[in-house]
Amino acid sequence: MTPGIDCIAHAAAQPSPWIARFAHLVPSGARVLDLACGYGRHARFFAERSCRVLAVDRDAAALASMAGIAGIETRAADLEGAAWPFADERFDTIVVANYLHRPLFPHLVAALVDDGTLLYETFAIGNEAFGRPSNPHFLLEPGELLRFADFGLTAVAFEQGVVAAGERGAVVQRLAAVGPGRSWPPPLDPN
């Protein structure tokens, strides 16, 4: 199957500036889980940084766009309608962008190695004024990601509010957190 224009555009998308800003917390060679990865903008980004990435999504066509990319393994999984597919796996880093399914929160913490890194960015209450998603079920409550970090992680950085997103704005929350085994303090972005 030849990728369509939309597929190529998604695949070429730049990583989130938030994810890129805290990528220094992810060492070369790290095992990275890119959860609900879509066409893999973050999977590609971390593979280029010599990480071993497991890119997971329910969309097989999106996953197929990463076929043959060195450092990326793909896996189709239903993260909402089936059991947690990584019960016996651990990751150095977990990346989640523009996806929210609250029942996964405890699984994310359990799947992170003791000194691992969680990079998370998604939409929050107030985003309905800018468009989709607008269903409160898919929008974080104020401070919700920061409270999530309290389940065994330490926040390195957190922010929430309105951001420019293409031609429209969005309301987001962003979290960079590390596990309890990480030496403290972690380095901040050198740039």
Asked if residue 185 is part of any domain, the answer here is: no
Tell whether pTM > 0.85.
Answer: yes
DSSP assignment, residue 151?
T
Q: Which residues constitute the domain of residue 57?
A: 5-178
DSSP state of 47: H
Asked if the structure places residue 184 within a domain, the reply is no
CATH number of the domain within which 108 lies: 3.40.50.150
d(CA 79, CA 166): 28
Q: Does some domain include residue 187?
A: no
Sign of CA dihedral 190, 72, 61, 99: negative
Distance CA 80, CA 49 (A): 30
Structural domain contains residue 35: yes
84: DSSP letter: -
Residue 123: pLDDT band (50, 70, 90) is: very high
The predicted pLDDT at position 86 comes to 94
Residue 85 three-state SS: coil
Whether 155 is covered by a domain: the verdict is yes
* 27 phi and psi angles, rounded to 5 deg: -70, 155
Structural domain contains residue 105: yes
- Average pLDDT score over residue span 135-154: 93
Establish if 28 belongs to a structural domain: yes
Instruction: Specify the number of domains making up the chain.
Output: 1
User: Are 149 and 177 spatial neighbours (Cβ–Cβ below 8 Å)?
Assistant: yes
Q: Please write the tens of the pLDDT for every residue from 57-109.
A: 999 999 999 999 999 999 999 999 999 999 999 999 999 999 999 999 999 99
How far apart (Å, rounded) are the C-alpha atoms in residues 38 and 76?
A: 11
